[in-house]
Amino acid sequence: MPIINVQMFEGRTPEQKRAFVKALTDASVETLGCSPDAVDVILTEVKKSDWATAGKLWSDAK
C-alpha cells in the first residue's frame, strides 16, 4: 500500500486538492499496479512563515 505524504504551502482550494490527490492516486495505480483503495495520500499544509529555503523564510520573499 503506497502512502504518499505531500507538504505544500497552504491556500489551495478543495477542488485543487481533490484533483491533485486523484492524479496522485491514478498515477500510483497505473505505475504500481495497485488498486485505488490501496493508495493513501496525506496532505500537510504549511504556512510560508514555517518554511525556509537557502536560509530564508518564504514569507519574507518579495
Q: What share of the chain is helix, strand, coil (3-state, %, to 5)?
A: 45, 30, 25
Q: Find cell 537557502 and name the residue.
A: 54
**2 tagged catalytic:** yes
- Catalytic, out of 2, 20, 38, 48: 2
Run of H or E residues at 45? strand 40-46
Q: Write out the catalytic residue numbers.
A: 2
